[in-house]
Each structure stands twice: as C-alpha cells, then as structure tokens.
Structure 1
C-alpha cells in the first residue's frame, strides 16, 4: 500500500531523515551483489576500525562459536561466511550511526527495543530453521519507520509511541498521517536500496496472520519479536507476558513452555548483545528477575488455558450446562461418598412439558433459545456445589450432594415456579413453558440404594409418574415406584 501523498511529500522534503553511513552504503552494495567475495567484505570492514573490532568480537562470540579463533578481519569474515558477514556488519554499521549518542530517552528506548527484537529474531530463527542473520537485520529495522516519523514531525508524533502496542500505534499513525510506520519503514529501506526481503519485513511483520493454522514463517518471527522485546522493556506491565504468549501462539503456533524458553534464552544473551551493539539493554540481575516472573506468569496463563479447555470439554455446547459425561463421573463419585459416609444425596430428572409443540409452533431456533434460557434460570436457583447437566434433548438432571429429599423438594419447587412464570420471547412470539421433575434420594431415612444406577432409575421413574399425573409437577420416588417402570407416554409428547 503506497504512503499517503501528503505524508510522502513531507518525508521527501525532510533533510534530517535517518541515512546509512558511508560504510553501510558500501555494505548495501555488497549485499545486493550476488558475486560479492569474502575479500571485498573484509576490505570494506577493515577501512572502518570500529566496525573491524566489532566483527572480530562477534566472530569469536557464541553467536558463531567454532573451534577456530579469528585474530584479524579476514579470518573473522572467513569464519562467518559471506552472507552472515555482510549482513551482521551492516547491522552494526547502521545501529552505530543511527543511534548516535542517544539524544533523548525516546531514541534510546527505540534502539533498546529494536536490538532486543533482533535478539528474539535470531533465537526464533534457530528454533524454526530460518536464516538467523537475515532475521536479525529484519528484526532490527522492522520499526525504522517510527524513527523516520519522529524525525520528520517531532511535534506531531505521539511522545509515548514506545509505550503503545504496535497495533494501537499503527492505528494512531494512520488516523493522524494517513499511513503508518510499517509503510514508511518499507519506503525508507527501499530508498536505502536494501534487499526486498528486508524492506518487506516492515510490512509483513505488521499484518495479522489469517485465521486458522498458520505455519511458522520468517515474517511471523519478526512480528512476534517485538512482543518478546516488550517483556523486558515494559517490565512492570504483567500484561506483556500474556501478549507475547498469545502472539507466539497466533503467529508461530508456539505453546507456553516454548515461549518461556525463548524468554529465558533472551535473558541469558541480553548482556552479549548489549556489548556487541554498545547500547545499554538490561542488567543481568534484572533480566533474570524478569525472566523468572515471566516464566511464572506463562505457567499461570498456561494452567488457566488448560482449565478453560477442560471446563469447555465438560459443558454442553448449546446450553452451557454440564454434559452427560461429566454428570456420570460426578454422580458415581458422589454416590460412593454418600454410601461411605452416610450423608444424603438427591438427584432429579427435569423434563420440559410438551417441548415438541414449541419446536413445531415456533421453530427449532426458538426451541434452542428456550433451552438456553431454561438452563440459565435453573443455574440461578442452585448452589455452587450442585451439578446441573443436560442429559439429552429437552431432559436435564440435577445432582444435589448432601441434600435430603425435603430440602431438594423445596429447591425443585422453586425452580418449577420460576420457569412457569417466565415468558419466553423469540422474534414476535411469546410463550410460557412448564417442567415435570422426578426426585429420588439416597441415605435419606429408610430409602437406600445399593447401586448408583438404581438411584437414577428411581428418579427416572418418578419423572414418568409426574408426566402421567398431568405434568407441571414434581413427584418424589417412593418404595413403590423407585424400581418399577411405568407404561407412560413419551416425555416430550
């Protein structure tokens, strides 16, 4: 997408835009030349003493650790290889020139975030098998458009730009200038004649992935790198950990443990990158504390997600009530505990009267809506420890641990009255519904059952009796009906 015309004019007229130094210009020529040789790179680096020192340092660092040690630029370049040497040299040259003496806190913060993003990119590249040197440069320059906009219009640009989320910052920029730092960054890097894949990182890393499964990509690594950097930059913002966990999952399919592992590796390598780029990042002790806190938050978030998934698996998709599988497991456990300790246990089958007429008269959508509403109404009338589940169709079951028959009767009576008095609305239609319920209790006076299915059958038979006696009522299981199946009409009729 092209830059907004008025913004482009201002950028073109700006005399203080970030520009690469002479050494970087020569390195860019070498990057663009497929026939570049190691000798050409070594010559270019050797003419810049400060850069030569950097290249020796990085060649002998764990980044390119080998059994051999480089003692001069030629050996350093040879150890790193053509592509790695020229891209890394370009990174150092650009950062040294563009960061300058850190004129203000905002500029220092920008480079701290950029270098931490580059570190994250390099770690992620190793994890997914991408070129680490290309991603290092891409991560370093992905937000160069921010620097260009701050330089061109310092009085108009948000002072707290680095405090904003990247997505929020882009929205603010586009509302203000018609284009964001992603488009400006692409324009600037093309102006510098950097390779397309580096310039495109400015755009690609700001475009959200499509819905569904997205395989890890270099652009995804660059996009997520800023979120990893923010964990260290915004150390007091505990939400930064949740954001990087979500971003890493969305862009790269990473789980919480993998995200924590990248953060830990960043913390261990931050000092090394700080020394290489001569930009203060974060103290070792501080990095360790941040990583420890982040790992703890990631674990908590992971457990919360697991609980959320478990809870979802236990629920009926339509009504939100527990599903039959969950009820069956809970019922067997509660029955065993009731039998073992002698405390009462009540269970009730609840069925909607004439539910087929609701579907036939108002449509199945209205029927589904009524089921959802009924579930919510019942949920408001029971205790936290009670278990309400959809048993099938329009039939529900309610488990009341520790509650005898008389107390359960009161609860069911209240539920029946609340449902009967509620007016359901769907579209232009308004209608009322009633329920029938069958109640059975275990360890309640003389009523005791040997097997859990016997208790369920007793409640089921009591429900049939309620239907046979005219519906819209509750029937309590007795010795006479608890094990006898009545020959009654189907409940839904």
Structure 2
C-alpha cells in the first residue's frame, strides 16, 4: 500500500470500528478450542444479534425439519462455523451501515454477498465463508471515505466499480482493495477472508478458468451489477464474461445463477432489513439477460473455434483446419464437377535465415511472408501454414491456369520484399507445386492423391533451381 495513505489510515480516529460483540466473535474465530456454549453466550450478550440469528436459523438458508425456539437451539442447528461467520456478517453490516449514506453501496454489497453464497453452494465451497467474504470485499471504500471524505467526495459520481478503483489509485496511490485488506487484518479477520478484498479486484487469471472460493468472490460483483446498473446490456455481458473467465461457467449456468439471485433476494432483504431490488423491473431484466448471454456465448464459441483453427504465429489457418476443409472441398468438387486447385509452397533456403540471424528473425520473416500471401489471394481461397516453412493454398472452384496466375503474383511479391532484422537485410523466395482436380481432364480418386501430386510438383520446383512454380501435368 502507498506509504502516505498508510500513515493517514494509522492515525485516523474515525475509521469504521466494530462493536464489542464483533471483536469477541473474531476472537472465537481464531480460537481452535471454541465450543457452542461460548458462542451462544457471546451472541446472547447482544439481544438484536440474538434475534437475528434465531431468524436466520429458521430461514430457508438453513432449512431443517426442526424449528429453533431459542438461541441455543439455533446455534446447535447451524453448527459452530456457520454460526460464527453468519453472526459476524450481521454484526458487521449492522455496525458499519451507519458509516455510509449511499444506499447503492449497501445494495451492491448485499447482492454481491448473495452471489458469493450461491456460487459457493453451486461449486461445493463453504457458502457461509463466502457470504462473509462477499460482504467484506469492498469495505475499503468505507475506510477511504473516512480518512479522506472531501477528496473521496470528488469520486462519488463514478458508478463503474473498476473505474472507481482506478480513480482511487490515481488519487491516493492505492485502491479500496488494498485498504480493505489492511483494515481486515487490523481487526484480526482470518487471512482467507481478508483476501476477499484483493481477489475481488484481481486481474484476469493467467491460467485456465477454475472455480475457487476467491474466483467466486471475483465474479460476485459483476453479478450484483446486473441488477443495479443503468446500462444493463453492458453489465449483463460483463457478468457473463467474468463467469466464463474466472469460473469456466457456461451460459446456461450463468442464467440460472441470475435467476437464483432473483428468487433469493427477498429472503436476503428480510434478513438484512434492506430493500435491494425494484421487483417490477427484475423480470424484464432477466429476460434481457437470457437473450444477451446466449448471444454472447455463441460469440465466444465462434471466437474459440476460430482460434483453434489458426496458426498462433502467422495467423494463417492451421493443419487441423486444412484437413477438414480440404476433404470437404474435394468431395464437393468431385460430386459437382467443379474445378479445385491446390498448391504446396516452401520458402527457399529458410534454414539459412535461422542459422544466420536466429529463430526470432525467422519467425518475423514467416509473419511477413504470411501477410504478403494473404494480401494476394481472394476471400474464397484458403491459406494454411502446413508446418515449419511450408504452406498450402487451396483454390475452390478455380481452374489451374487461374491459380497459376495468383501463385506467380505471390512469388514475385515475396521475392521483391526486403526483410529487416536489427541491422541486417535479406530477401526470400518461394517454390511451389500446383495440382488440380476436375480440370483439363484431370481427376484424382482421393484427396490424398491430389495433395501428393502437389507435393511432387513442389519437389520438382526445388530440384529445378527454386524460386519457381511447377504445375503438374494432366494425365
């Protein structure tokens, strides 16, 4: 955290504080020998909290066949861990709500906590821990507003959560994520809960999406914003993308999660004594969410499919894509009697480039050559990096002579391009072998046979001196 801000926080006399019962609960959290009697006595010292816990124990959150008629029964039914985390949750909200007049903050906090709990339940994590983590994740906002009320007032108009965090970092040197973590550690909140402040604002994971308690926290704010922000389209898409990015959640599950939040919101409103949603708008919003998430998911699937069909270095189609496309085009050409041309291309003496200038120079040359070829072909032509410095061009519906014109144009463009790497410059040439099907009385029995003919023509071009196109002869 920024040192200047840390100094201000340490000497601030109006930071959010906890009631004595909350501190006692935190002590119990960190006591390995805690027992239900101690816990019940602690909660009983606060009549309002006792009434709340009895209400929670008999709520759908902890539906059982038994009904708790007193606090001791409620604690027994819920168990030690659940009682501690839920009691601390309500104690914190009750004591801290007086520090913030902006109801939007608390509406988002309650909805994020609900999302955290539901996500935890869905993935089999401790949902009570996640309820508390959801409530705590933005507590740094309260601390910043306490330590710098006038400065923070200038940020009040920012409604986007990520933009608010950026503005805080620009203004104070640290955001409410770091401040919240510092405050929770000062209170003695366990590490796995304090980390919620950091996790809820972490960057995109650098690994494959995986559901963990912390990624549930990271996604929860996006789910909350769906119900709160004016630009519902943007927030719905953001929630869908965050669920996929952080949790690997598909569109159907995301929609179900939003619907579940809608169903459970009134229950949470009753428990926290706070109106969170305008119910007359929610049903229309959820219908819009279903449509947008479905569309966004289809877009992600197409993007993923496109990525799996492209060579990472050059952007050309890859071997996997070619194998499928070539078989299809060959079958269509054979069935309809349409011409089909295919060419193998190879960079002449490419090994010398790698040996002389290094593989980085070779990669740069492959990228440049791929761009040159891409600018010379038509939209219907298929350009493939077949492997190493070898490429394939597929010309559907194209007779050999037309394909030969394109290939010679490519050969000339490649030969005239000057490659540069550091202070070195060099030129490259290509050799190509062209084969054709359903043209000039040429008909191949199989797609493999057609490709083999193109490969043989390429071999002839290289044997004859390179930097040339060899067209296979009709039988």
State the distance in 2 between where 1:57 and 1:333 align. 65
Which has the larger Rg? 1
Q: Please name the residue that 1:488 is paired with.
A: none
1:323 to 2:322 alignment: no
TM-score, normalised relative to structure 1: 0.82
Distance change in 2, residues 1:330/1:198 (3 Å):
closer
Distance change in 2, residues 1:161/1:333 (3 Å):
same
1:279 to 2:278 alignment: no
Unaligned runs of 5+ in 1: 483-493
1:181 to 2:176 alignment: yes
CA contact (8 A) 1:41 1:77 kept: no
Residue among 144, 148, 163 paired with 2:143: 148
Residue among 228, 236, 241 paired with 1:233: 228
1:164-206 deviations in whole A, cap 9, x for unaligned? 334x544432332243323433444455565565445434544
1:322-374 deviations in whole A, cap 9, x for unaligned? 23343232222112211211222122222333434444544444333322221
1:65-90 deviations in whole A, cap 9, x for unaligned? 11123345554444333443354344
Partner SS for 1:436 = strand
1:119 to 2:114 alignment: yes
CA contact (8 A) 1:92 1:277 kept: yes
Distance change in 2, residues 1:370/1:276 (3 Å):
same
1:292-314 deviations in whole A, cap 9, x for unaligned? 44444444444333333333333
Q: Please name the residue that 2:77 is paired with.
A: 79
1:163 to 2:162 alignment: no
Q: Please name the residue that 2:409 is paired with.
A: 414
Q: Please name the residue that 1:491 is paired with.
A: none
State the distance in 2 between where 1:351 and 1:39 align. 79
Q: Please name the residue that 1:66 is paired with.
A: 64
CA contact (8 A) 2:75 2:83 kept: yes
Give runs of aligned pairs for residues 459-474 of structure 1, distance below 5 A. Answer: 459-474=454-469
1:377, distance to aligned residue in structure 2 (A): 0.9
Distance change in 2, residues 1:23/1:161 (3 Å):
farther
State the distance in 2 between where 1:10 and 1:357 align. 63
Partner SS for 2:321 = helix
Q: Please name the residue that 1:43 is paired with.
A: 44
Distance change in 2, residues 1:62/1:470 (3 Å):
same
Distance change in 2, residues 1:108/1:419 (3 Å):
same
Partner SS for 2:376 = coil
TM-score, normalised relative to structure 2: 0.84
State the distance in 2 between where 1:59 and 1:282 align. 24
Distance change in 2, residues 1:330/1:97 (3 Å):
same
1:4 to 2:3 alignment: yes
1:112, distance to aligned residue in structure 2 (A): 0.8
State the distance in 1 between where 2:59 and 2:74 align. 11
CA contact (8 A) 1:416 1:434 kept: yes
Q: How many residues align?
A: 471
Of the structure 1 ranges 369-378 and 296-305, higher mean CA displacement relative to structure 2 is found in 296-305
State the distance in 2 between where 1:66 and 1:393 align. 65
1:476 to 2:471 alignment: yes
CA contact (8 A) 2:35 2:80 kept: no
Distance change in 2, residues 1:397/1:132 (3 Å):
closer
1:442 to 2:440 alignment: no
